[in-house]
């Protein structure tokens, strides 16, 4: 069920109408669980079996980690984590294994490539891991009861809600148990943060329905073989448009998720923080898909040793973390290359800082601007491995940029891309201007007009509705 569908609107309004009524306050969590299961199973109800089985295993294992025998707690944690990684690997990477190591047209190879990818599996398995690790880390502290209460029934209800809560279920933000579960309590209509919800919903739907969906009709031409007859300039502009599109699409989804969750009294963690103003790759990953980058840092990079075991080990840990983060995104080697690209960039950046020291003074503005352009350009280039999952197509695309200099550009398409990319550019510039006192005052005066304009554009100028890009992960 898409956020920008009539069915989602009906589900949200009906759930909201019931949720705050006094007779139903004691069963608010149950209401949201039912709504979430309807949301998840709407297109394919058979997926609910795997989802509920995953939740059941995580309920039992996390409870045993805290209240089971001391001698078996670590073993149960290990088994639970392996289970989550196992079902993720089986359903997500079996087609990759089948295509890489077997004949995909017969035998085991044909069977492997036909295994379906359950929607949202990358997100709910990571949240299961978060629950297990948080339970284990806090089992000897008072913090544990906030994550795993003594009542198994209450824990089962909390865990099901934590994983299933429909605003984040399909494409995040990835929730951490110690952040979300303590929020579970009775909610009241008077406590709804209306302004917060309005801002996030309007901006999110604008980014998705106006910017991303319009740009998707233009960036379609990045696909093979269509890009082979595009001019060099057109290919560069298309890639720029896709960089803007993927931000608008995923940031839009995340903002809608925050807004809808807020309507029901829950705060999800912010997932994007104006990433395209970043002047370094480390800053980019503090601003882009924040829930994933913090998850990888907390549950992978630090357990690998982080930066505590010397410089060389730090570079290796950064590289491995981003490689695995890239593979998390999809069952294709292109995602691994994308992860290695960012891992290599982070490692090189860290090496340069280690060699030349960490400057405490703010660099000149011109240097910051040039650094920002450089980082954005490389990040945009790397999105090729997202859009073209066949590595040979990436090579052909780069070759076309080099050789298609004599082909005339489609000026209308370039104009469309510039026009629908402009809101994202302005979105980032407004953020920068709000850090200045004069800019903040101007923004306060313009804010009602901007939100009114976005609402008008949502109503009158949407693109052809499509799935969110991150639904495939």
For helices 365-382 and 333-356, angle between their N-to-C axes, nearest 10 degrees: 160
Asked if 329 is an active-site residue, the reply is yes
Tokens of 44: 């394919």
Give residue 56's region: left, alpha or beta (phi > 0; psi -120 to 50): alpha
Considering only CA atoms, which of 470, 473, 462 is closest in space to residue 210? 462
Cβ pair 442, 192 in contact under 8 A: no
End-to-end CA distance of the chain: 15
Q: Residue 173, preceding bond cis, omega within 30 degrees? A: yes
- CA-to-CA distance for 140 and 152, rounded, in angstroms? 18
Catalytic entry in 329, 342, 403, 428: 329
Active site residues per annotation: 329
């Amino acid at each position: 069920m898409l956020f920008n569908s009539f069915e989602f609107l009906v589900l949200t309004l009906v759930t909201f109408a019931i949720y705050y009524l006094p007779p139903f306050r004691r069963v608010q969590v149950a209401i949201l669980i039912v709504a979430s299961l309807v949301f998840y199973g709407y297109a394919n109800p058979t997926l609910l079996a795997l989802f509920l089985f995953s939740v059941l295993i995580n309920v039992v294992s996390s409870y045993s980690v805290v209240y089971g025998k001391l001698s078996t707690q670590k073993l149960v944690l290990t088994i639970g984590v392996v289970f989550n990684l196992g079902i993720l690997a089986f359903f997500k990477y079996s087609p990759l294994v089948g295509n890489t190591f077997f004949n995909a047209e017969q035998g085991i190879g044909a069977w492997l490539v036909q295994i379906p990818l359950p929607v949202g599996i990358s997100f709910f398995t990571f949240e299961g891991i978060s629950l297990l690790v948080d339970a284990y880390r806090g089992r000897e502290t008072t913090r544990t009861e906030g994550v795993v209460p003594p009542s198994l029934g209450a824990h089962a209800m909390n865990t099901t809600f934590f994983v299933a809560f429909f605003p984040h279920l399909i494409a995040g933000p990835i929730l951490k148990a110690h952040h979300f579960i303590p929020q579970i309590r009775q909610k009241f209509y008077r406590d709804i943060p209306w302004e917060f919800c309005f801002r996030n919903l309007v901006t999110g739907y604008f980014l998705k329905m106006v910017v991303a969906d319009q740009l998707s009709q233009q960036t379609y031409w990045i696909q093979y073989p269509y890009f082979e007859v595009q001019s060099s300039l057109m290919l560069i502009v298309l890639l720029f448009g896709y960089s803007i599109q993927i931000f608008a699409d995923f940031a839009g989804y995340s903002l809608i998720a925050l807004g809808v969750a807020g309507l029901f009294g829950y705060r999800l963690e912010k997932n994007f923080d104006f990433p395209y103003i970043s002047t370094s790759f480390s800053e980019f990953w503090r601003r882009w898909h924040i829930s994933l980058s913090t998850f990888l840092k907390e549950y992978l990079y630090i357990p690998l040793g982080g930066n505590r075991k010397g410089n060389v080990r730090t570079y290796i840990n950064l590289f491995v973390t981003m490689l695995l983060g890239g593979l998390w995104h999809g069952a294709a080697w292109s995602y691994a290359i994308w992860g290695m690209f960012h891992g290599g960039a982070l490692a090189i950046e860290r090496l340069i800082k280690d060699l030349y020291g960490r400057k405490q003074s703010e660099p000149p503005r011109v240097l910051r601007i040039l650094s920002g352009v450089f980082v954005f350009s490389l990040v945009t280039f790397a999105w090729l491995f997202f859009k073209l999952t066949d590595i040979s197509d990436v090579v052909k695309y780069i070759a076309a940029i080099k050789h298609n200099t004599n082909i005339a550009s489609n000026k209308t398409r370039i104009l469309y891309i510039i026009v629908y990319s402009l809101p994202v550019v302005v979105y980032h510039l407004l953020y920068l201007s709000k850090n200045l006192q004069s800019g903040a005052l101007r923004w306060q005066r313009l804010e009602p007009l901007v939100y009114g304009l976005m609402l008008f554009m949502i109503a009158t100028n949407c693109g052809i509705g499509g799935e969110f890009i991150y639904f495939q992960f």
